[in-house]
Chain A
Amino acid sequence: MHVHADSTLSVQSLFRACLKKDGVAVPGSERVGHNVMTNFGAEWLAELIVWQTIGVSDVPFTNRRVRWIGVGDDSHALVTESIQTLKSAVTIDGTLYLATVDDSLSTPTGPEFVSPVWVRFARTFDYGEISHSGDVVIKEAGLYADYREGGVYGLYPTNPLNPVIAYKAFDGLLKSSAFTLELEWSFKF
């Protein structure tokens, strides 16, 4: 007889958003909770873990990895895994709808490994980002998998309709040029 344990790997994903002023959290601005991994995200993960062909030189199905975060000023009424894009993406700087998860304002920069099986992505939007043309109420966020090779992206950062791998809707946060917006997305395998 064999004893079976841990037969299903449950990946805990957690989202956190917070406004800050001069580095101090704005009271009442923290949003924390689970989120939804979209069907597109599940398909991406199923392709990521295996080789398409194994031979003289192995070929992957996909080389996309978590690369971008985007936010929107509306949210889907029904949050399900069939969500494909943000409902109403807003630009970060007037042109780009996607911001890298690796930026100098995040602490620490780039992905952080809380433990060997726990990875956290973070992005801090600066005072002038998102609210570059005035105040914006942020109600949704999405995570994107992509690559950059030879300067070329797979997704189109100037397009508001890129497919999200994970999605979170939350009570609105008023992003003005007086605040920074800190987003964190973690996955514990």
Chain B
Amino acid sequence: MLFRDDIHVQSNVFLCMRERGKLVPGSTREGHNVFTNTGRNLLSKLIAWKTLGSTDLAFTEKRLRWMGMGSGTQLEVANVSQLNSPVLITPSRYLVEIQSTEHPTSTTARIICIFGVSDITFSQGVVELSEVGAYADVNPADSAGDEDSAAPGFTTALDPSIGTNAPSAYKAFEPINKTADYTIEVRWDFRIV
């Protein structure tokens, strides 16, 4: 009989542009994506305690926290280490916080990010977008101390002001043109099956 002898994390990205709440025709992109080595490393550290004691100590407290977008593209493979061509979301940040998390089923986690009309296109004009990344992190305000200090390959909190952060999951898609008239809605599902 069939049973879950291996665990599968199926991730799927849906994104679209909206103008005053209405879907922009032809702007929907949907598909599977890749869990990067950074994401796999995160999962292996996340499920384990580093030390057990009166109060257990974790290897990492990072969880999916940010999204970033870019105008480049690259092969969707596990060794993706950054967006190919990251774009600024605000004048000083390449990453924005995920706005909400849902569990459409008990074994599915969905992260949602809405890029506003002035996000990305804060200087007006048109910005072509063709890649998106999801990033795991702790709250920068909580990052002081020894967060992840004993986990090789991990750094402390990410720096949203640089474009070279390593995503845990990555998706390349057919380009869409973002203008200041549009918002972008990104929904990213992680389904454990």
Question: Which A positions have Cβ atoms within 8 angstroms of B?
Answer: 2-13, 34-37, 39, 41-43, 45-58, 60-61, 63, 65-67, 78-81, 100-102, 110-111, 113, 116-119, 121, 145, 147-151, 187, 189
Contact = CB atoms under 8 A, between A and B. Distances in A.
A5 B109 contact: no
Interface of B: 1, 3-11, 31-35, 37, 39-41, 43-56, 58, 61, 63-65, 73, 75-78, 97-98, 101, 103, 106-109, 111, 136, 138-139, 141-142, 152-153, 172-174, 190-193
Interface centre among B7, B9, B40, B41 (most CB of A within 10 A): B7
Contact of A13 (B6, B40, B52, B58): B6
The 6 A-B pairs at the shortest CB distance, nearest first, are namely A7-B32, A34-B5, A11-B7, A189-B40, A117-B40, A42-B192
Contacts of A67: 49, 52, 56
Contacts of A50: 63-64, 98, 101, 109, 111, 190
A5 B41 CA distance: 18
B47 A45 contact: yes
Given A7-B33, A81-B3, A51 B58 contact: no
Contacts, number: 202
B56 A118 contact: no
Given A7-B10, A189-B41, 4 more contacts: A2-B173, A4-B33, A58-B63, A148-B55
A148 B107 contact: no
A42 B193 contact: yes
Given A3-B75, A48-B63, A50-B63, A36 B51 contact: no
Contacts of A4: 31-34, 76
B49 A66 contact: yes
Given A57-B142, A102-B49, A46 B8 contact: no
Given A34-B5, A65-B47, A116-B37, A58 B138 contact: yes
A5 B77 contact: yes
